[in-house]
Structure 1
Amino acid sequence: MTTYSRLYHWIDGKQVAPASDGVIDLINPTTEQLLGRVPAGTAEDVDRAVRVAVAAFPAWSATTPADRAAVLARAVEGMERQGKALAETITAEVGAPDKISLSAQVGFPLNVLKSHVDILRTFTWDDHIANSLILKEAVGVVGAISPWNFPIQLVMAKLAPALAAGCTIVLKPSEYTPLTAYMLAEIFQEAGLPDGVFNIVCGTGPVVGEAISRHPLVNMVSMTGSTRAGRQVFAAASETVKRMHLELGGKSASLILPDADFEKAVRTTVDQAYFNSGQACLAWSRMLVPDDRMSEAAEIAADQAAQYRSGDPASSDTDLGPQQNRACFDRVQEYIGGAIDSDAKLVAGGLGRPDGIDRGWFVKPTVFAGVKPGDRIAQEEVFGPVMSILGYDTPDEGVAIANDSIFGLHGAVWAADEQAALPYVKQLRTGRIDVNGAKTNLVSPFGGYKQSGFGRELGVYGFEAYLEIKSVQLAGDDTGGLEAGIRVREEQG
């Protein structure tokens, strides 16, 4: 298979031969066949890319917001033209069903890119506080490290704000799903992005990710991935006191209160947990229900799981694709086996592939009821289509169970109405919460509490993460001084 091979890095606007002859095999998760190959990059490749990004930074950061907006707008048009090809590549390397690849895996990042065109057209780049001029400037060279589950979206959540801010970038895409990153580079080049502003070095986390994190000329590292990998990146980047953004794991809870539309809440929670075959850090993998409705919840959830059809991602009948790689498949099987051996009740799915499927890393859509808060499957991120249903005695106990986690990324509250939900929303220690199945908002900030990381992506909050703030004291302004500053602060509340 050579169709998908990209045996080069993308540096300074062109294909660049790697420093070594090491390669990484890409495996189609549906067929388990070779999909293509990419370079196994080295620290030398990273250094070359970083130095190119450093050289490109002064000119790119000096462009006007209008000029950067024009480049991003042309890239939007390029993504729209290439949407089908991007979706086909996602299906091949991730295993996502076609309908998800086009609508979400491509559609979401396209809207993220559009939102940053809008930000550039309205953002205020300076401010005044008494005799001080406050300037907002690009942070510099950004090292971006992205995972395999949403390879365009989780790249675009870094790429769009960084480019909009005037930063230059060195990206390490996942070694499992790097192909769409190359396609994005070509789209942005066609859109007029100057050479050296967006660079790609393929390779593994311990080599390329480590080199990016440690490089003294990288000013910021933005990484999405597991909490384990985030700790390693954080340690490496801390040596040079870089700005950091980490979006890490989750074990999100969907809290269904007694007065909620129970059937809708249960079914929607299952759907959200199974999205992208459960390979999402924001999955509601814990469903919290009143103890006296455990059996009802289990019955509804099992019925919803039974409606999921696994199979060829290219088929319009397929709802659930495979896990992206064999290691993930094995890990999910281990969690399912461990839960079966516990006191939890298996009500749907279980070990092995779905019936009728003999190849590909497919997992049965699985539901466990009667899971205890301290169970391993209730505490650790499974990253597969596995739902745990936990019971609570009172809503306050439900909140306590939801907060009993090292993670705090996403969550849900289901109640009779929004006003009834809000007191519980405020008690949950998590960065994003949906009330009664509210729609995803791609311009609201996304990020976590606790070991789910820190910093925010998306919208203006995510954009501002790529800006430095410079305070300029103007001697010619006689309105300055401590008293004036205090007075302004009091007037502003």
Structure 2
Amino acid sequence: MTVTSGTRGTVDPDILLDGVQLIGGEWVPSATGRTIDVINPANQHVIARIPRSDENDVEHAVQAAERALPAWRDMSATARGELIFKWAALIDAKGTELDSLESQEVGRPSWGPPGMGRQLRFIAGQADKVHGVSLPTHHPEAVGFTLREPYGVVGAVIPWNAPGPLFAVEVGAAIAAGNTIVIKPAEDAPLTPLALAKLALEVGIPPGVINVVTGYGAEAGAAIPAHPKVRRMAFIGSPETGRIIMAACAQNLTPLHLELGGKSPQVVFSDADLDAAVRGMAWSITLNTGQICAAGSRVVVERSIHQEVVERLAKQMEEITVGPWYEQVTMGPLVNKKQHERVLGYIDIGKESGAELVLGGGVPAGDKFDDGFFVEPTIFDKVDPDMRIAREEIFGPVLSVIPVDDEAEAFEVANGTDYGLVASIWTRDVGRAVRASRALQAGQVGVNSAFGAAAIGAPFGGYKNSGFGRNMGADSVLEWTQVKAVSMSEAGLPRR
């Protein structure tokens, strides 16, 4: 096994797993015997290798989840929550190691202690708050009520941009509800999910409750929604793959939730606090190198302040430092060669379409950038709303500035894409903020907030092609339950 080492970062061998995946509580290779290299995108060094699994491994994982289901489903909901609380505590204790591992497989700079423990504590508190309701009856000798029950064996496929948090969100809520799960992380960044699963076993979450199958989407990932014993699915990723997952689920009438892409607008009016707005917009598009579905990639700005906003944004983004994970930088590389080529390709499209390149547009110069997938923070001005860079998700640090004349045009442009994940408005006008909150077609609206992230327990999900269903909120565990209606009455009473 080759691991990143030396003063430029290490991977803790206690949490780094090489060549194995988790099925039924056992760390096993793939049935195929093949592996995939996990590459550090800052230097293309091999961090570890993972099994290249297929439908046979998924079958074994589903069987393991099915065996574990009765005991886990029937366990006291409070006991399930207590185990998840213990899992969260161990994650916090291993926070530095997990942050380093995810930094190296994703390519991002250190974010400090990771938030997975906090997310799991929020979920664990919901485990024994899964309530039914009482129902009115036709006669006093009868009672009616509803039960919320787990689906059974469930599945999930998650992307590479935030593998630890997304693993915690999906797995935590699913198992808190009493389900057992088979999950496939992205082949580019599966190591943090595997480490989290290892910690779950260490705190006593039973074997088979969490099963992690690694491999490519077309080989391992596609087999999960296609499996007839997988009763519910979650997918986070692109709309294109989301459609494939949904089609597979349709064959077995498997319910699912989809969290897909975004082309989030940042709507800026002349009365905005521009200091706060510019900081927020620059942070939103460069965090994780723009590889976030909620990234505010379109600045829809009132024409009277358009030039000032562009100048301020350029100055702010010039201060973004770029480099490998072990440096104190703001932004790291893109995750892989394919993504690097994609983002640079969109930059070329922007230039060819007539948008004005204000900042960036290329690859940083210097020896330390030669072996990684780095790109400069980039701003395009005078972007037409119909240009591809204004309509399609780039998933990189590329910002499009679109000037508008008034509020009505701003809302029209903001809503003028197929996506509807997040939208932000920057204004001091309370009335306009209220109008925007209703007018903007997005699952989350932030007023004077880049991601709308000020609220605790806000449900996360999209409108339109950004998907459907919600996670992270106060009802996240309920999303993994189904409702059963029960009617009880004395034998022999007339039915109506």
The answer to whether the aligner puts 1:202 opposite 2:214 as a matched pair is yes
Partner of 1:8: 20
8 A Cα contact 1:418 1:435, kept in partner: no
Given that 2:17 and 2:194 are in contact with CA atoms closer than 8 Å, whether structure 1 keeps it comes out as no
Give the counterpart of 1:296 among 308, 311, 314: 308
Higher mean Cα deviation, 428-437 or 291-300?
A: 291-300
Residue aligned with 1:126, SS: coil
What per-residue deviation string (whole Å, max 9, x for no partner) do you get for residues 324-361 of structure 1? 11110110000111111222111111122355632311
Could you tell me how far apart the structure 1 residues matched to 2:366 and 2:417 are?
34
Kept after mapping to 1: 8 A contact 2:361/2:378: yes
* Deviations 1:292-327 (CA, angstroms, capped at 9, x unpaired): 3221111011011101000122122x1100001111
> 2:155 aligns to what SS in structure 1?
strand
1:462-482 deviations in whole A, cap 9, x for unaligned?
A: 221100000011224999998
Are 2:369 and 1:328 aligned? no
Distance 1:168 1:346, change over 3 A: same
In the TM superposition, residue 413 of structure 1 has moved relative to its aligned partner by 1.1
CA distance in 1, matches of 2:344, 2:493: 68
Report matched runs for 1:456-471 at 5 Å: 456-471=470-485
| TM superposition score normalised by structure 1 | 0.93
- How far apart, CA to CA, are the structure 2 residues paired with 1:477 and 1:351? 78
Note if 1:371 corresponds to 2:377: no
Alignment of 1:19-98 (within 5 A): 19-98=31-110
Instruction: Answer 1 or 2: which has greater helix percent.
Output: 1
Which of 134, 140, 146 is the equivalent residue of 1:128? 134
- CA distance 1:237–1:124, change in 2 (3 Å): closer
User: Counterpart in 2 of 1:286?
Assistant: 298
The 1-side partners of 2:456 and 2:183 are apart by: 22
**In structure 1, what is the equivalent of residue 123 of structure 2?**
116
Please, which runs of 5 or more residues in structure 1 have no aligned partner? 483-493
Aligned to 1:485: none
- Pairwise CA distance, 1:268: 1.2
Runs of 5+ unmatched residues, structure 2: 4-15, 138-143
Q: Deviations over 1:417-445 (max 9, x none)?
A: 44430111101111001111254435110
- Work out whether residues 19 and 48 of structure 2, in 8 Å CA contact, stay in contact via their aligned partners in 1: no
- Within 1, Cα distance between the matches of 2:91 and 2:460? 23
Q: Deviations over 1:262-318 (max 9, x none)?
A: 3321331121111111000000000110123221111011011101000122122x1
Q: Is the 8 A contact 1:57 1:197 kept in 2?
A: yes
User: Do the aligned residues in 1 keep the contact of 2:123 with 2:476 (CA within 8 Å)?
Assistant: no
Corresponding position of 2:12? none
How far 1:15 sits from its partner (Å)? 1.0
What is the alpha-carbon distance in structure 1 between the residues aligned to residue 130 and residue 188 of structure 2?
Answer: 39
1:382 corresponds, among 373, 394, 406, to 394
Contact 1:27 1:34 in 2 (8 A): yes
> What letter matches 1:457 in structure 2?
N
SS of 1:461's equivalent in the other structure is: coil
Q: State the match for 1:352 in structure 2.
A: 363
TM-aligned CA distance change 1:481 to 1:379, over 3 Å: farther
Flag the 1:480–1:250 CA change in 2: closer, same or farther, 3 A: farther
Asked whether the 8 Å contact 1:130–1:480 carries over to 2, the reply is: no
Judge conservation of contact 2:154–2:233 (CA < 8 Å) in 1: yes
**What is the TM-score of this pair, normalised by structure 2?**
0.92
Tell me which residue corresponds to 1:444: 458
In 2: Cα distance, 1:43 partner to 1:175 partner: 16
CA contact (8 A) 2:303 2:404 kept: yes
Secondary structure class of the residue paired with 2:271: coil
What is the distance in 1 between the residues matched to 2:380 and 2:23? 48
Cα distance per residue 1:396-455 (max 9 Å; x no partner): 110000111111001101111444301111011110011112544351100000111110
Matched residues in 2 for 1:477 and 1:256: separation?
Answer: 66
Q: Shift in Å at residue 16 of structure 1?
A: 2.0
Give, as a single letter, the amino acid of the residue that structure 2 aligns with 1:460: A
Match in the other structure for 1:155: 167
Corresponding residue pairs, total: 475
Select 2:272's aligned residue among 257, 260, 265: 260
SS at 2:234's partner residue? strand
Matching of residue 319 in structure 1 with residue 330 in structure 2:
yes
Write the distance in 2 (CA, Å) between the matches of 1:259 and 1:479: 69
Question: How far apart, in 1, do the equivalents of 2:492 and 2:136 lie?
Answer: 9
- Residue 124 of structure 1 and its aligned partner are, at CA, apart by 4.3
